[in-house]
Every structure is written in structure tokens, then in C-alpha cells.
Amino acid sequence: MANLRRNDERRGGNSQHRGRYNNYQQRATREDRAGEIETDGFLRVSAGIVGTCQDVEKRYIRVQSQPHPSTIRPERVLKLSLEAVKKREADGEEYEVCHEYYMSICQDLRIQQLEGGFTVEVRENFARCAMRARIGDKKRLDTKTLGDCLIHLQELYEKNANSGHEVEFGIYRLVLWLGLSLEHEDSLLVVHACMASLSQFEQHPAVKHALEIVSAVLTGDVVSYFKLVAAIPDEVKDQRHVHETLITPSMRSRYYSAMLKAYKFGFPLVELRGLLGCSSKEELTGFLRSQQAVLDEEQGVLDIDKSKR
């Protein structure tokens, strides 16, 4: 972490990254709140509202004016609502449906200004659901919802010590922004801010492992990256979804491009499968086809020379 911190200082210092991250965090939080409750003024008006609605499942409808308590579920009912949406997801319900139910739960919590341990539990489960999702043409996780949940969780952890999985979701926040930085260079600033926020846990094995992943990605050490991904600790295993959809495709493309420059003739597919972290021959073949690679199936090699053309 010391080397990464020195690199951070050369780029302008932790305080600068922290400041930019805080600006992003405040902006994103305002946007998220606007999606649930129209204004901060309304938040003040809603103080003291205690819901009386007994409907366990309720579709999300954006609240734009002061609601009647009969339309809002109290925490006791919302606990049943959380179990219901978790069961829907476990039973294979479409992500869009689960997302809507989670949004409805979060809105009822915000209207009643409930920010305790149960709200932490809701946001953690919503974040996991967003990580497991596969949406859009690229079939990627829901980065916007995941980012919103992680921002809310960071605030909630500050108010609720030891109420959730702060280290685990701090790592997910770091890995998410690491993946986004491969597409948007400005996101690298947030990566360093996320690293700083984990500094108090830097002796934690899962944090050490995550920082090694960051180092491998930022230095382009593809071989180390795939070894590290194969050894992700069980307690933070859900980060695999971030790697699978945001980071791994980019790292594979990097290594493939470097191979074409460094090698001639044929490269064994069996060896290449291990280097690229592919779980099956089909996964490797699919990736190589997407790169317009030429394979010699009979010899079991990647034809480097023909693939360059």
C-alpha cells in the first residue's frame, strides 16, 4: 500500500482525491435522493412520519409530495418486504422486478428517515442484487445502482458502527471504481479515495488482497491479476461479478495485444487458457473469436502470425 500511496502523492495527494470523491459522493447522493424524494425541504416536512401500510410487497412509485402514512410501510413490515424480495431473487425473478421492489423499500425507509442497522441490511442486499444483475447489450452488472448503494452504505456505516460488513463493501466500492477507471480515466481519482478510506483496515487479509489487485491492474500485470482473481477470499467473493463484467475483459484484451507483439508462430491454447483466467475451453475460444484470432485447432495453438493480419 505504501508504493500505491507514493504514486497517489505524485498524482496530487490523497487530500485532492478525497476532495473530488466527496464532491462526487455529495452529487450522487443528491441525485439518488431526488429519485426517491423530491427536495431536502420535503425531507424536513417528512420528519416524524411513521407508516401504517401493511402491504408486504409494493411497487415503486416515485414520491413527489408529502405522502399519507397509510401509503408507507413501517420498519416491521419492511423487514417482511426485504425477505420477500430476497426470495424472489433466489427463485430467479427478473432483475428489473427485484430492483423495483428494492427501490420501494428504500423509499419508505428514507421517507421515515430510518438510518439504522436494518437500513444497512437493505442497502447491502440491494448492492449484492445489483452486482449479480446482467443488463444491457454488454450484459454487465448494474453499475449505477451498485454505486448508489455503496455511497449510501458509506454514510450509514459512519452512523452505525459494527452494524454491517464495512470492510467487504469498502472492497466492492474500490473494485467497482477500479473497473470504471478502465473506461473513464477520471474515475481513477475515486480509486485512490477508496484506497484511502480502507487505510484503517490495511492489515485485513481481504484488503491486502484487494490492494494487490489494484496494483496489478494499474501496472498492467495481467498474469498476477488473474492469479489474484482466482484466489479471491470467500468473504468478498461477490466482487467476482465486478471482475467478470468490468475488469477481466479489458485485462484479457491487454494481454492478447501484448502477445501478438511479443510472440511469433503458435502459442499453446492450454497454456493461454490459464494465463487469461478462462474457466473453460469454450470461454477461451469465445474470447479469441471476439478478437478475430486465428486458431489452429489441429495443433491446439493460437496462430500468432495469422492473427496479426
pLDDT tens by residue, 110-131: 999 999 999 999 999 999 999 9
Question: Would you place residue 308 in the very low, low, confident or very high pLDDT band (cuts 50, 70, 90)?
Answer: confident
Round the CA-based radius of gyration of the chain to a whole number and report it: 22
Tell me what the mean pLDDT of segment 22-41 comes to.
46
Question: Would you mind telling me the total number of residues written for the chain in this entry?
Answer: 309
Q: For the ranges 10-14, 75-79, 100-104, 164-168, which has the lowest average pLDDT? A: 10-14
Q: Which three cell numbers stand for residue 133?
A: 444483475
Distance of CA 72 to the CA centre of its chain: 29
Helices (H) and strands (E) in the chain — how many of each?
Answer: 16, 3
- 51 within 8 A of 110, measured Cβ to Cβ: no
Nearest Cα neighbor of 155 from 169, 142, 144 is 169
Q: Which residue has the higher pLDDT, 196 or 36?
A: 196
Mean pLDDT taken over the chain? 86
- 189 within 8 A of 174, measured Cβ to Cβ: no
Tell me what the mean pLDDT of segment 22-39 comes to.
46
Nearest Cα neighbor of 279 from 241, 210, 239, 230 is 230
Q: For the chain, what percent of residues have pLDDT higher than 70?
A: 84
DSSP SS3 for 172:
helix
Question: Would you place residue 34 in the very low, low, confident or very high pLDDT band (cuts 50, 70, 90)?
Answer: very low
For residue 241, the model assigns a pLDDT of: 96
Tell me what the mean pLDDT of segment 102-113 comes to.
96
Q: How far apart are CA 60 and CA 38, in angstroms?
A: 15
pLDDT tens by residue, 230-252: 999 999 999 999 999 999 999 99
Q: How far apart are CA 143 and CA 170, in angstroms?
A: 15
Highest mean pLDDT (candidates 18-22, 74-78, 292-296)? 74-78
